[in-house]
């Protein structure tokens, strides 16, 4: 079964692997459920598990995908799980997804979006205060956080569409991104009608034209602002569950030569993604320390 799951990584074998896994029925479903939550397979193979699961008995497949959503750290896998759930619902409109789990996933997405917003604000503010912080690594980090913020909001609307299947959240999302202020206002009005507090205020804050500080304030039910300064924010991002953000933070600390982070960085777990930047920055900070 493991070989079949790994064969999902390769476009040349994916279709046959999917067919074979479907043929194995419950055993395959069990193996795929395990593989979705474990690191036993390549990322590429894992990315194709949600769509494969969508081919199984819809109620069970949806339950697996949904229960996995709130704890998945890989953004691509979260997105693909949501898309697979959308496909299942498209084919089985009468199917009912567990509302409580969906609401957890929605709340988790809202909290994540505000967390990214706060990180972005701390970095932007810090670079205004000390322009020397505006390095290529700073720009990269900022761009990564902006991207994650945008992705999280887009996925939030997909989750809302699953939670409220009678409402057209896809259309609302498009309206919110329209050039027409009238369409945007109409999208906001629909959100205000459909959602209840405190979710209503938080979702509206994520999509309306308030200034960023005010938006952050509106999301307090889902994320308590931590009020970090620049270096405190970098310190916090060293603990990010995203290895990408962690690596970019390490890289940026190296650019700024912040030697006080040496021991913090030395204590970080080395993974395939993070190891190279950790080692490079540690040796750079050690050289700097010796030179002083």
Partner 1 sequence: MLTAAPIRSVHDRMLLLRSLDSLAGIDDAGLSLLAEHASRHVVVRGQIFETEGARLRRVNIVVEGRVEIQRRGRLVMIVERGRGVGFLSALAADEQGITARALEDCVMLSIPVDVLRTVYEENFSVVRRTLQVLAVSRLKVRGFLPADPRKPPVVELGERPGGELTFVQRVMAARIGLFAQANMDAVVDIARSSRQLQIPAGQLLWRQGDPAPTYVRLLYGRVQCSREGGGQIEIGADWVLGIFDGMSDQRRAYSVRALTDLVALESDYAALLSVFETHRVLAMQLLAGMARPLLVGEDEPGLELS
Q: What does the binding site for partner 1 look like in residue numbers (CB under 8 A)?
A: 9-11, 43-44, 47-48, 75-76, 79-80, 136-137, 140, 143-144, 146-148, 150-151, 244, 247-248, 250-251, 273-274, 276-277, 280
The nearer residue to partner 1, 85 or 204, going by C-beta atoms, is 85
- Work out how close the CB of 221 gets to partner 1 at its nearest, in angstroms, rounded to a whole number: 27
Transcribe 142-211 into DSSP letters: HHHHHHHHHHHHHHHHHHHHHHSTTS-HHHHHHHHT-S-HHHHHHHHHHHHHH--TTHHHHHHHHHSSS-
- Work out how close the CB of 247 gets to partner 1 at its nearest, in angstroms, rounded to a whole number: 5
Enter the tokens of residue 266.
Answer: 């030395």
The nearer residue to partner 1, 114 or 116, going by C-beta atoms, is 116
The nearer residue to partner 1, 179 or 197, going by C-beta atoms, is 179
Cα gap 18→218, rounded to integer Å: 45
- Work out how close the CB of 51 gets to partner 1 at its nearest, in angstroms, rounded to a whole number: 9
DSSP letter, residue 267:
T
- Work out how close the CB of 49 gets to partner 1 at its nearest, in angstroms, rounded to a whole number: 12
The nearer residue to partner 1, 40 or 44, going by C-beta atoms, is 44
Cα gap 84→187, rounded to integer Å: 25
Enter the tokens of residue 132.
Answer: 């020397």
DSSP letter, residue 7:
G
- Work out how close the CB of 220 gets to partner 1 at its nearest, in angstroms, rounded to a whole number: 27
The nearer residue to partner 1, 145 or 204, going by C-beta atoms, is 145
């Amino acid at each position: 079964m493991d070989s079949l799951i790994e064969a999902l990584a390769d476009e040349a074998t994916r279709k046959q692997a999917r067919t074979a896994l479907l043929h194995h029925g419950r055993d395959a479903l069990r193996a795929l459920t395990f593989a979705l939550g474990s690191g036993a397979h390549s990322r590429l193979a894992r990315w194709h598990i949600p769509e494969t699961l969508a081919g199984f008995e819809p109620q069970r497949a949806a339950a697996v995908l949904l229960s996995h959503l709130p704890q998945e750290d890989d953004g691509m896998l979260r997105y693909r799980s949501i898309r697979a759930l959308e496909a299942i619902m498209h084919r089985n409109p009468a199917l009912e997804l567990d509302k409580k789990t969906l609401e957890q996933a929605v709340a988790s997405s809202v909290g994540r979006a505000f967390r990214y917003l706060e990180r972005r604000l701390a970095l932007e503010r810090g670079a205004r205060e000390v322009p020397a912080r505006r390095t290529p690594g700073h720009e990269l980090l900022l761009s990564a956080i902006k991207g994650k913020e945008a992705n999280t909001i887009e996925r939030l609307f997909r989750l809302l569409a699953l939670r409220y299947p009678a409402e057209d959240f896809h259309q609302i999302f498009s309206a919110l991104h329209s050039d027409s202020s009238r369409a945007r206002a109409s999208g906001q009005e629909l959100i205000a009608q459909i959602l209840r507090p405190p979710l209503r205020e938080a979702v509206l804050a994520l999509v309306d034209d308030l200034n960023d500080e005010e938006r952050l304030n509106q999301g307090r039910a889902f994320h308590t602002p931590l009020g970090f300064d620049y270096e405190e924010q970098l310190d916090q991002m060293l603990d990010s569950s995203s290895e990408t953000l962690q690596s970019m933070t390490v890289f940026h600390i190296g650019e700024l030569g912040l030697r006080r982070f040496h021991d913090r960085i030395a204590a970080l777990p080395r993974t395939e993604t993070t190891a190279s930047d950790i080692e490079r920055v540690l040796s750079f900070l050690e050289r700097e320390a010796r030179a002083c």
